Amino acid sequence: MKTEKIVIDNLKCTGCANSIKKALNQIIGVLSVDVIEETNTIFIDHEGQIPRSMFLKKLEKLGYPEEGTSTTFQKAKSYMSCAIGRLS
């Protein structure tokens, strides 16, 4: 088992965390996802064969890129992901 630690931009609330967990848990080989809202940090436990870039791409697509790389478009996308996560 391997654990990836990723610090992200645009994490605002539990809705965001729910969207992130749901999306990352869909990746085959992911065992668990923990989102720490206070520090904008995600811990992903996985079987070890998944490249970090796969997690980063999925997070960017949701609007939660790695810390310091956020664009205005990604910030807007994160609000949409947040709203979806609040409904889940």
pLDDT value of residue 87:
74
Residue ranges per structural domain of the chain? 2-87
What are the two backbone dihedrals, phi and then psi, of residue 56, each rounded to the nearest 5 degrees? -65, -40
Euclidean distance between CA atoms 65 and 23, whole angstroms:
14
Would you state the CATH architecture of domain 2-87?
Answer: 2-Layer Sandwich (3.30)
pTM of the model: 0.89
Q: What is the pLDDT of residues 5-56, one digit of tens each?
A: 999 999 988 999 999 999 999 999 999 999 999 999 999 999 989 999 999 9
What pLDDT does 54 receive? 97
